[in-house]
Amino acid sequence: MPVREKSSGGWLESLKTILYAGLIAIGIRTIAFEPFNIPSGSMIPTLLVGDYLFVSKYSYGYSRASLPFSPNLFSGRIFGSLPARGDVAVFKLPRDGTTDYIKRIVGLPGDRIQVRQGVLHVNGQRVERVPQGNYTVEGDGPRITVRLYRETLPASPGAQPRAHPIIEQSDDGPYDNTQEFVVPANHVFAMGDNRDNSLDSRATNFVGFIPVDNLVGRAEFIFFSWDGSANWWEVWAWPLAVRWSRLLNGVR
């Protein structure tokens, strides 16, 4: 009899431990950090296909989009704040409210955004774009060589100008010459760093302006990166498929 009581108590304690661990994990995921992986090359060279990163949920406050499964519990944002120009942010796609997208915020409410001959303009001013040589794109279709630039966005209120890399195949692609977009109140404008291979706010019929309430959080750092060169069963090849140099890199 004592043996049975001990066994029953052991199972109960194990279940409690699992429950507590699950609740803690859900709490951390909801209010602190959530993991995401990168499935496409729209943010190359900043983010590569196979990168896994943590997104801070508290950076812009909390909305339905911040919560798991986006439940309809409240509207607006709690402890809300705007992103800075240059932030790499995860958001819910406006057209369906469920698909997670990640892009760089380049326009804030009231900003005028336009691309002319491949060069971004913010509020009528040309954004500095300095050539950095060539860049070889691998792992997202055919291997190609493109031009690498360092782009410096205008400073957001209370912040410093932000520099980051972008790549361009040409300056006459479908989104290299756009109309001037005026960002509405309570919205932001986002673009991918792989400027010729990104469906972003320039695609008005697909992404367009992003409601602030759709922001999930800001990308903070890469905790794992996998180049896809090894199959799941090729255990011996796993170490060579990890991009060790990218681990724990901050997202800038």
Token pair belonging to 161: 């100008």
CB 190 within 8 A of CB 105: yes
Alpha carbon 138 to chain centroid distance?
Answer: 20
Token pair belonging to 73: 């519990």
Strand order in the sheet with 33-37: 33-37, 51-56, 215-225, 88-92, 100-107, 187-191, 210-211
Distance between CA atoms of residues 218 and 87, nearest Å: 7
Q: Does an H or E element contain 215, and which?
A: strand 215-225
Closest CA to 106 of 74, 58, 154, 56: 154
Distance between CA atoms of residues 52 and 72, nearest Å: 28
Alpha carbon 4 to chain centroid distance?
Answer: 52
DSSP annotation string for 32-87:
TEEEEE--SSTTTTTS-TTEEEEEESSTT-B-GGGSTT--SS--S-BS--PPPTT-
Number of H helices and E strands in the chain, helices first, is 2, 14
Token pair belonging to 206: 């697909």
Active site (catalytic) residues:
42, 103
